[in-house]
Chains A and B, each alone.
Chain A
Amino acid sequence: MSVLLLDTSAVSILFQPDHVLHQRSFEIVAGHQWFISFLTRGELLPWPEVNRWGSARREELNRHIDLCTTLFADEATCVIWASIVAQSRIAGGRSQQPMRGSPRRPVEWDLPLVTADHRDFEHLDALTLIPLTP
């Protein structure tokens, strides 16, 4: 069993069983512990509001999110954030906000990051990526 950090793309794909990447994604992450960053949680929570879901579906999303442990920020997170932003700037061509998806926490805890947006993170040295691809 491994401890995995899922980004927003991974959690949303795992929520919808008919998504083209769902089955393959679940095969990858099943049997492991799931973690998310507080930013991923913050990105997921407005999803029902934006789409005006009913209460039953909102509750399903909450149950889905609750399968994950949420990692919150502290001073060490801020220091790692700064280092990663600098690394991304040096790499060039990357977003100035490359870490919104989550990577500072996987680096801090040495967690592999599961994501369908792996190209956003592949320039980061101290990171293990598990891409979700067909």
Chain B
Amino acid sequence: MARVIADPKSLPERTAPIPGATPPVYTLPYKDLGHPDEVDAFRKLVREIRHQPPARPK
């Protein structure tokens, strides 16, 4: 089984950097004005494309 954690702050610092990595993200420099339902519709579409069943309830 995978290890499940709630907060990445509990993870140890990574010692070896990954080459070409973008900087850490502290703010989002834009604000999407779309409707939130679009996100769920898109996630559903992606699962259909992958031929995955609908996401199971959390």
Contacts and interface: CB of A to CB of B under 8 A. Distances in A.
Q: Do A and B interact with each other, yes or no?
A: yes
Interface of A: 1-4, 8-9, 12-20, 22, 26, 28-35, 43, 47, 50-51, 57, 60-61, 63-64, 66-69, 95, 97, 100-101, 109, 112, 114, 116-125, 127-131, 133-134
18 contacts: A2-B11, A8-B43, A19-B36, A30-B26, A31-B25, A33-B21, A33-B22, A34-B22, A34-B25, A35-B18, A50-B45, A51-B42, A64-B28, A69-B20, A112-B11, A122-B2, A123-B1, A124-B2
Given A8-B46, A33-B24, A100-B52, A125 B2 contact: yes
Nearest to B19: A69
Contact of B39 (A15, A29, A122): A15
Contacts of B1: 122-125
A-B pairs, 6 with minimum CB distance: A19-B36, A127-B2, A100-B50, A2-B8, A18-B36, A60-B30
A99 B23 CA distance: 26
| Interface range on chain B (Cβ under 8 Å from partner) | 35 or more
Nearest to A66: B22
Contacts of B22: 33-34, 66-69
Most B CB within 10 A of own CB, among A16, A109, A118? A16
Contacts of A4: 8
Contacts of A125: 1-2
Contacts of B14: 2-3
B31 to A, nearest CB: 6
B30 A33 contact: no
